Amino acid sequence: MFGVVPKSIWQKTNPADANNMCTWAMRSLLIEDGERLILVDTGIGNKQDEKFFSHFYLHGDDTLEKSLAAKGFSKDDITDVFLTHLHFDHVGGAVVREGDKLLPAFKNATYWSNEKHWEWAVHPNAREKASFLQENILPIQESGQLKFVGTEKEIEFAGTEKDIEFAADFNLRLAFGHTDAMMLPKLNYKGRTIIYAADLLPSTGHIPLPYVMAYDMFPLQTLKEKKEFLDEAAANDYIIFLEHDPLNECCTVQQTEKGVKLNNIFKLSEL
């Protein structure tokens, strides 16, 4: 999770257990927008076999169903499933197993990806193939519920200088270091800008620039994208929504003489 950074350093913020495993969250975001109920990312799901889950030591009893029910909703209420990218810990909950069939978990929803990333995922390179499980991806397309965001040109140039409009008060920017054409929601909420950071910034422990995951396909691209993002977030007081941080849901950052540092941590409900 921290690439070339030595364990003796990173374990100060994310201590490992006896199996050299760290605890991580898979934090989705639910957006109520008029008649639309948009779910950003779906976690790992539960349809894989025992061998698959034995690698990850899942713990806790949180599920999408319980989290939705706590807000008064069910899966059938979701109108849009926005997938930042198609790695199994982000898209696994998008598809369920019913008998011998694999079906969309959200039967009334439109699923959103972008064509560039979709092609990258369905024709994966050997290094990333284990993260793109076809049973998480192809049933979405086969259902007819899949749509793509943006044009090919918009996707190519949607970085830190240009956003793509998805919905009212919901734009997106793209990052290309972790995987090709990962989408980051950029939301206007109560007069603030919220960035759903996905795997560009998994946790507060990843704020230091060299802390780049070994999972990233293009780490130097991530380094560039993360610096630009953090500088912008500090200058504009963005709220960074953290998908994988086990303790911290949201944070802000500030510019210091030693670069961008963590400023405040809080929950979105505290706004």
User: What value does the mean pLDDT take over residues 89-93?
Assistant: 97
Residue 92 exposed, middle or buried by CB count within 10 Å (0-12, 13-18, 19+): buried
> Is 193 within 8 Å of 211 (Cβ atoms)?
no
Residue 39 in tokens: 């779910």
The CA-atom distances, in angstroms, between 256 and each of 25, 64, 200, 230, 251 are 28, 38, 21, 12, 16
- The reported pLDDT for the residue numbered 148 is 96
pLDDT the model gives residue 222: 97
* Residue 168: HSE in the Cβ half-sphere, 13 Å Cα cutoff: 6
pTM equals 0.95
Residue 4 burial (CB count, 10 A): 9
Considering only the top CATH level, what class is 17-270?
alpha beta
Helix axis angle, 134-142 to 115-122, nearest 10°:
130
Which token pair is 165?
């409009």
Residue 160 has pLDDT above 70, yes or no: no
Q: Please report, as a single letter, which amino acid is at residue 94.
A: A
User: What Rg, from alpha-carbon coordinates, does the chain have?
Assistant: 18
**Given this model, what pLDDT does residue 68 score?**
96
Cα torsion 39, 44, 45, 48: sign: positive
pLDDT-derived band at 113, boundaries 50, 70, 90: very high
Residue 94: its pLDDT value, please?
98
Whole-Å CA distances, 175 to 32, 82, 159, 243: 25, 15, 6, 15
Give the separation between CA 136 and CA 146, rounded to whole angstroms.
13
In degrees and rounded to multiples of 5, residue 251 shows phi and psi of -150, 165
The encoded tokens of residue 56 equal 């990850």
pLDDT in tens, 185-230: 999 999 999 999 999 999 999 999 999 999 999 999 999 999 999 9
pLDDT of residue 244: 97
Residue spans of the domains in the chain: they are 17-270
Residue 83 pLDDT > 60 = yes
Q: Kindly report the CA angle at 248 between 246 and 251, in degrees rounded to 5? A: 145
Region 241-261: what's the mean pLDDT? 97
The Cα–Cα gap between 244 and 257 comes to 28
pLDDT given for residue 153 in this prediction: 73
Largest CA distance in the chain: 58
The mean per-residue pLDDT over the stretch 234-262 comes to 97
Average pLDDT over the chain, rounded to an integer = 94
pLDDT exceeds 90 at position 61: no
* Residue 125 φ/ψ, nearest 5 degrees: -75, 165
Is pLDDT at 88 greater than 60 in this prediction? yes
Give residue 240's pLDDT.
98
Higher pLDDT, 140 or 12: 140
Q: Give the model's pLDDT for residue 156.
A: 72
Q: Is the pLDDT of residue 163 over 90?
A: no
Mean pLDDT of 16-45: 95
Q: What is the pLDDT of residue 159?
A: 61
